[in-house]
Structure 1
């Protein structure tokens, strides 16, 4: 059996932003099936549906949507396809230092710093956390860049 290494994915922040934000409607994420990695930390919310997660060497399944945080350089596949049955998939990707060197070292960022450390192996969130944070993530689509950043920090702190 031939082992295929993950492909490197180059990610550029959204225009006018320090991180990448994209919402894909009804499985429109064309890169969903690719085995890949990138230095950015990735937060993915899948609204509804069920499917398979492949993160690092771990394979698992989700139902009624998904909320996952994937650490920097952790290989993974996308989470939706034409059989998933989800409404949308929102993907947020940020470099570990997307707000500058040392920003996450300040005391107010302790929770987020710990979250990023735990995400090195990937984290799946469930139940009320998935539902509440999912609503906040989807609301970001209509926000200004500044409000989107504030919401992002709030979400990371809450997780």
Structure 2
């Protein structure tokens, strides 16, 4: 896992890239690239790590990622198949001055801030999903028109949520390898008790150096990161199973109901019971 800045290949007959990435090319660890990205998940599920955001992803989800935003769509199981159609484009591929046109103000506003991540919702998600699929199978000027339509609709709609913004990282390749190792270690161990001494030693850092390194690169404390992994796991169990909530608490890395309930409310803004009821009623 040595890739930090992914090199996006664009065929000579195109001005931007759009292609399907399916296992094994879907498996790109923590990385970034100067291109903006529109992605629709076409197969598989897992955890999306986008900037400082941690959340589930599943088939049909659509995300827009600004340029240079680090991300990793990590599959729920290593032996599962992951697949997505991904559009990669540079903000200025239309040529200098194009975004300054008055007719482009909605798209220019959407592209203004680098390192911003958006998840599309509802009808907007379904509409952009269809257009991304068309882009992959379209030639000529219509391809650019479809991308413009995508960006115009996203910028004009309220059916999306900003999941991370103004995420700035100066990590180089060596730092990126350490970040990937920490994330990999965390996914393997987050359901068990974890000490800072334990995870710091896995990176050959002192505890204080590890805490500074993690906060600088992920923009949150390590225990906040673990908390979000555990609560994300609990949310999945609440949505996908009928297991008792107390059982889910103890199977999500917690040994105290009071602590679990408090942290669940901090992350989701709802109690575990309310979260399950909201999901079941749509």
TM-score > 0.5 by shorter chain: yes
Q: Which protein has greater RCO, CA pairs closer than 8 Å, 6+ apart?
A: 1
Whose strand fraction is larger, Structure 1's or Structure 2's? 1
* Number of equivalenced pairs: 152
Give the TM-score, by structure 2 length: 0.49
Task: Please identify, of 142-151 and 58-67, the stretch whose mean Cα deviation from structure 2 is larger.
Answer: 58-67
Does structure 1 residue 123 correspond to structure 2 residue 118?
A: yes
Please list every run of at least 4 consecutive aligned residues from structure 1 whose deviation after the TM superposition is greater than 4 angstroms. 79-82
Conserved? CA contact 1:69–1:119, under 8 Å? no
1:55-114 CA deviation, whole Å, 9 max, x = no partner?
Answer: 112111134421111111111113657536x6x511011111011111111111111111
Give the TM-score, by structure 1 length: 0.83
Q: Structure 1 residue aligned with 2:133, among 134, 138, 159?
A: 138
Q: Separation in 2 of the partners of 1:68 and 1:131?
A: 12
| Alignment correspondent of 1:46 | 41
Unaligned runs of 5+ in 1: none
| Alignment correspondent of 2:4 | 7
Q: 1:64 to 1:89 in 2, by over 3 A?
A: closer
Deviation at 1:41, TM superposition (A): 0.5
Does structure 1 residue 57 correspond to structure 2 residue 52?
A: yes
- Structure number with greater Rg is 2
1:7-52 CA deviation, whole Å, 9 max, x = no partner?
Answer: 111223233111111123xx33515331111111111011354321
Whose helix fraction is larger, Structure 1's or Structure 2's? 2
Q: Separation in 2 of the partners of 1:131 and 1:110?
A: 24
Q: Separation in 1 of the partners of 2:105 and 2:39?
A: 22
